[in-house]
């Protein structure tokens, strides 16, 4: 990963361990030449820098159409709200008292010089998913961590991953004492569906390859 972008990724606000970020970048480099990358849940843009860096690498070797999309409403997940463990009061908009990570995301992407590589879609994932029709080379799910949100992201966008494309789950914890269980349950659901096979695991990150179905088919 280019040193300037690696530095931006490391310094950006977020919750991505460095080794998992490196793995995300490596998988995105493999997939970016084959079609769009999409992440659900970007927070302040830390993971988007890893994806945008992969897009830049792909473009430098002739894949001019490589691109990464991010989908986020930028109001924070449940655990980011006041009174919860991951609340950060510096991200609250003084005007309306709500979390607003969009300015911080924009600053991260601007400082990284990735405004042409990363396209922000601002909105709630289920609504965006209802209108999404573009086959994906890679899907990264790292949005809300309730069963409802993770499952909606998987069902709404996972169906658009192309054959041979990959589905990346973050914050997958087998044991409750290590973290929330919703991503684990959704990851297991994908594995048992017959549509996916696991190809790599590191920390809380799991990478699955689509082995059955065409874009648009239910997963």
Alpha-helix residue ranges (DSSP H) falling in the chain? 3-11, 18-31, 46-60, 102-112, 125-131, 147-158, 182-192
Q: From the candidates 73, 145, 149, 170, which is the catalytic residue?
A: 145
DSSP state of 38: E
SS3 210: strand
SS3 125: helix
How many separate helices (H) and strands (E) can be counted in the chain?
7, 7
For 78: left if phi > 0, alpha if psi spans -120 to 50, otherwise beta; the answer is alpha
DSSP state of 90: G
Q: In Å, how far are 31, 87, 124, 215 from 106, measured between CA atoms?
A: 24, 20, 18, 30
Q: Is 175 a catalytic residue?
A: no
d(CA 133, CA 45): 24
Are 74 and 48 a contacting pair, CB within 8 Å? no
* Residue among 70, 69, 66, 87 nearest 78 (CA): 87
Question: Which residues are known catalytic residues?
Answer: 145
């Amino acid at each position: 990963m280019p040193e300037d972008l690696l530095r931006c990724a490391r310094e950006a606000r977020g919750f991505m361990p460095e080794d998992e970020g490196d793995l995300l970048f490596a998988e995105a480099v493999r997939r970016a030449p084959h079609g769009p990358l999409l992440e659900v849940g970007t927070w302040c843009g830390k993971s988007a820098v890893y994806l945008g860096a992969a897009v830049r690498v792909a473009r430098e070797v002739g894949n001019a159409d490589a691109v990464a999309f991010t989908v986020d409403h930028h109001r924070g997940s449940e655990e980011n709200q006041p009174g919860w463990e991951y609340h950060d009061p510096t991200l609250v908009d003084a005007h309306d008292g709500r979390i607003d990570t969009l300015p911080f995301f924009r600053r991260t992407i601007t400082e990284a010089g990735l405004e042409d590589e990363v396209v922000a879609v601002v909105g709630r994932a289920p609504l965006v998913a209802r209108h999404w029709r573009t086959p994906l080379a890679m899907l990264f799910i790292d949005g809300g961590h309730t069963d409802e949100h993770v499952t909606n992201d998987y069902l709404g966008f996972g169906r658009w991953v192309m054959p041979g494309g990959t589905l990346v789950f973050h914050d997958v914890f087998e044991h409750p004492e290590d973290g929330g269980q919703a991503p684990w349950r959704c990851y297991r659901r994908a594995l048992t569906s017959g549509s996916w096979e696991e190809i790599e695991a590191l920390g809380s990150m799991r990478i699955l390859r689509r082995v059955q179905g065409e874009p648009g088919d239910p997963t």
